[in-house]
A = this chain, B = another copy of it.
Amino acid sequence: MTDAQSLNVLVWGENRHEQIEPHVAEIYPDGMHGAIAAGIRENLPAAQVSTVTLDDPEHGLTEEVLAATDVLVWWGHAAHGEVRDDVVERVHRHVLDGMGLLVLHSGHWSKIFGKLMGTSCTLRWRSEEDRELVWTVDPTHPIAQGVPNPIIIDQQEMYGEFFDIPAPDELIFISSFTGGEVFRSGCTFKRGHGKIFFFSPGDQDFPVYHHEHVRKVIANGVAWARTVRPERTTPTLLRYESGEFFTGHGYTGAIKESE
């Protein structure tokens, strides 16, 4: 898992706008997930990058697939509600076990992001071709390397504060928009043994996932989100006797049997 050549990335795409809206299909002929995957391959040539979509069986997110995924990248928007709850539970468990997760743009309102954050993940928005400037506020962070400060995105949907998320562990990027709004656009969170990066640039109506620097940030995020732990393990409640630090015992119930 410390070998760059073994990095397995899975891009999950909702793939609905591309089917329904011709202007989206025109911008993203290989699907948005296709463009996102291409950007990762471009920047991390040794990575194995696959794509699955909502309409695949189990949304393409079977136990086997997730177990073999180092970092999952999530883009959804119009069909968050169609994602099965049992699949969300499964993804959630894999994140707590150590799978990395990138949540992109409108994924802020996905079930999996809400479940990991515990908040409403709501925000203010407007889709009117604002220019977005993405400013770095944590210049030593690996995710901020190799891009200018600011990144200039000529046309973008506006996302603005208040963004109802927990205070991020690290705030890397803050965006401004033509209308004057600001947004915490690059945030990291650790949950369980998993590392999560939320990055807001990206929209179905604009060619943001073809943008060189947006692609670079996403690839940086993927590289960062891969756990450095040697194996994936589930955080577990265990009993430890006094002086016994390394061998825990499983839970046997809240009420003592003898009572």
Q: Which residues of B contact A170 (CB under 8 A)?
A: 167, 169
Q: Are B124 and A240 in contact (CB under 8 A)?
A: yes
Q: Give 1 or 0 for each of A183-224: 1 = CB within 8 Å of chain B CB.
A: 010000111111100000000000000000000000000000
Residue of B nearest to A117 (CB): B118
Q: Are B140 and A161 in contact (CB under 8 A)?
A: no
Q: Are B136 and A194 in contact (CB under 8 A)?
A: no
Q: Are B167 and A176 in contact (CB under 8 A)?
A: no
Q: A255-B21, A255-B78 are in contact. Are A140 and B171 (CB under 8 A)?
A: no
A191-B166 Cα distance, complex, nearest whole Å: 6
Residues of A61-112 contacting chain B, CB below 8 A: 77-79, 96, 98, 106, 109
Q: Are A23 and B240 in contact (CB under 8 A)?
A: no
Q: Are B234 and A120 in contact (CB under 8 A)?
A: yes
A57 within 8 A of B: no
Q: Which residues of B contact A150 (CB under 8 A)?
A: 180, 245
Say how many copies of this protein the assembly contains.
4
A21-B255 Cα distance, complex, nearest whole Å: 8
A235-B175 Cα distance, complex, nearest whole Å: 21
A-B pairs with beta carbons under 8 Å apart, 7 shown: A124-B237, A138-B190, A139-B162, A140-B193, A140-B229, A158-B240, A181-B240
Q: A166-B191, A191-B166, A246-B148 are in contact. Are A119 and B135 (CB under 8 A)?
A: no
Residues of A227-259 contacting chain B, CB below 8 A: 227-230, 234-243, 245-246, 248, 253-256, 259
Residues of A3-44 contacting chain B, CB below 8 A: 16-17, 20-23
Q: Are B189 and A142 in contact (CB under 8 A)?
A: no
Q: Which residues of B contact A180 (CB under 8 A)?
A: 131, 133, 150, 176, 178, 243, 245
